[in-house]
Amino acid sequence: MHVLVHGGAGSEPDEPAPRQAVLDDAAAAGATEEDPQAAVCTAVRRLEADPQFNAGVGSVVQSDGRIRTDAGLMTGDGESGAACAMPGIEHAVAVARVVKTATPHVLLAGERAVTLASEHGIGTDCDLWTAKTRERWDRVDPPDDLTARLAWVREQFGQGHDTVGAVATDGEGLAAATSTGGRWFALAGRVGDVPQVGAGFYATETAAVSTTGDGEAIARFGLARRVADAVDDGERPRHAARRVLRGFASATGGDAGVIVVDREGRVGRVTNAATMQTAAED
Ligand code: ASP
């Protein structure tokens, strides 16, 4: 099994070494699984459980002081599932998997997604706060008035990164998964690229892709799908990721990171942000 994981594109983390250790561990855990879907879910679950990343425990906070998580999952057979805007859900990727495997839908949102999670034995009412997120939230005071609040969101929003993702192949099938808490101080209810098919994640018969970075720009551009399409058209993953990301940057002015694997296990990992930590395991 080839597994590649990322811990988000953005500024240099204060302490990269402990984050890298968790990413290495997540990739190794994924590689022990029997199929690509299980591999990406296992890898992402490890990262969601670690407070150093903006997914599950350690997720960022929205403008109403609540944490909501999102995730998406797709396999090379074209099947996908995603779940978003979920309070109290640590393992958003597990909910995405339930949406993919147990419902006829591609995306479930909010309290109904939480109910579905609970009905499938996934932990709900999880405490996703860390001392660091509490401290940061305590330092701000979003206005109650709508106009003022929107202005506040415009000013504050955008500092999120450390979203997590994984791609995997066993030489036959492929899978991609991405999970996040979104971006700091986004308007309550905001959903970014991560649970949108073709934006935060995508998989085909030849490639699996997970993205991270400026979510609105990634969603408008359809970043994950464009990279997968390029590999489908015969481009090598590394080259495809690099070329498409350049096009993304010039079209949107945004920052992003991409990981991609093809069926031969060839990978691409590229970012135009300051950094994106990754780990791979064969
Ligand atoms: N793309 C994520 C979002 O906008 C953030 C990230 O990748 O760190 O929700």
Going from N- to C-terminal start, the domains of the chain cover 2-274
**Among 177, 224, 175, 179, which residue's Cα sits nearest to residue 198?**
224
Q: What is the pLDDT of residues 240-256, one digit of tens each?
A: 999 999 999 999 999 99
Give Dmax over CA atoms of the chain in angstroms: 55
Percent of the chain with pLDDT over 90: 95
Catalytic residue among 75, 133, 163, 204: 163
Instruction: Give residue 171 CA to ligand 1 midpoint distance, Å.
Output: 29
Provide the CATH topology of domain 2-274. Glutamine Phosphoribosylpyrophosphate, subunit 1, domain 1 (3.60.20)
Q: Are strands 201-203 and 2-10 parallel, antiparallel or unpaired?
A: unpaired
Q: Give mean pLDDT, residues 274-281.
A: 97
| Predicted local confidence at residue 160, as pLDDT | 62
Binding site membership of 68 for ligand 1 (Cβ less than 6 Å): no
Model pLDDT, residue 14: 87
Output the pLDDT for position 159: 66
Average pLDDT over residues 157-186: 93
Neighbours of 251 (CB within 10 A): 11
Q: How far apart are CA 100 and CA 241, in angstroms?
A: 26
Pairing of strands 68-75, 80-87: antiparallel
Whether residue 156 has pLDDT greater than 90: no
- Residue indicated by tokens 């970075």: 213
Query: Span 112-125, mean pLDDT?
Result: 98
Q: Please report the atom of ligand 1 found closest to the CA of residue 163.
A: 8
Please work out whether the CB of residue 183 comes within 6 Å of at least one atom of ligand 1.
Answer: yes
Q: Which is nearest to 178 in space by CA: 20, 54, 33?
A: 54
Evaluate whether 59 touches 192 at the Cβ level (below 8 Å).
Answer: no
